[in-house]
Amino acid sequence: LIEYVNHNLRESMQDPVVVSVDLGFAKKGRNYAADMNMPIAFIEKRRQGNDAKAEALTLIGEVENRDVIIVDDEVDTGGSIAQAVNLVKSKGAREVYLIFVHPLLSANGAERLASLPIKQIITTDTAPLSEEKLKHLEGKITILSVASLLGEVIKRAHEGRSVGEMFNE
């Protein structure tokens, strides 16, 4: 995902910033930002009152007049991502890109993502997407294969080598 951004999108981006969708993903978000040589911003969610669904969102960092890459590990219904996109757009973000590893997209997740003001979704093939979901996201989604990564994991496991070292190389 990072390699794709660095080789295919970086040059056309205007003052890009990585935004972690919540503080729980902050450490991984920081790694994304470092590997793409970009600053990072965070979204903080707080429950308000007795309603478990009522959340206040706070953006920590600057996105105004910048291209934003929102990062997360997986997207299921798309609710948190939708909140994040709407927040950064309300704070003046230019183009918004989404990067997540696992496109679960249950319920109306694909439709929700398709309705958002985003330029591109970059994800992997770790979860299959139906033709219907792909149709909703047509023109907005890039799916990267993890086959070579899995092949290397199998090879290293077979050879008794460290799989963890792959992620430090």
- With bands split at pLDDT 50, 70 and 90, how would you rate the model's confidence at 40? very high
Domains of the chain: 2-168 (3.40.50.2020)
Residues catalogued as catalytic: 45
The mean pLDDT value for 12-21 works out to 95
The answer to whether 55 and 46 have CB atoms below 8 angstroms apart is yes
Quick one: CA dihedral 33, 4, 97, 143, positive or negative?
A: negative
The whole-model pTM stands at 0.89
- With bands split at pLDDT 50, 70 and 90, how would you rate the model's confidence at 121? very high
Q: Which helix (H) or strand (E) holds 43?
A: strand 40-47
Angle at 50 between CA 45 and CA 52, to 5 degrees: 50
pLDDT at 55 over 90: no
Angle at 131 between CA 128 and CA 135, to 5 degrees: 120
Q: Which helix (H) or strand (E) holds 84?
A: helix 79-90
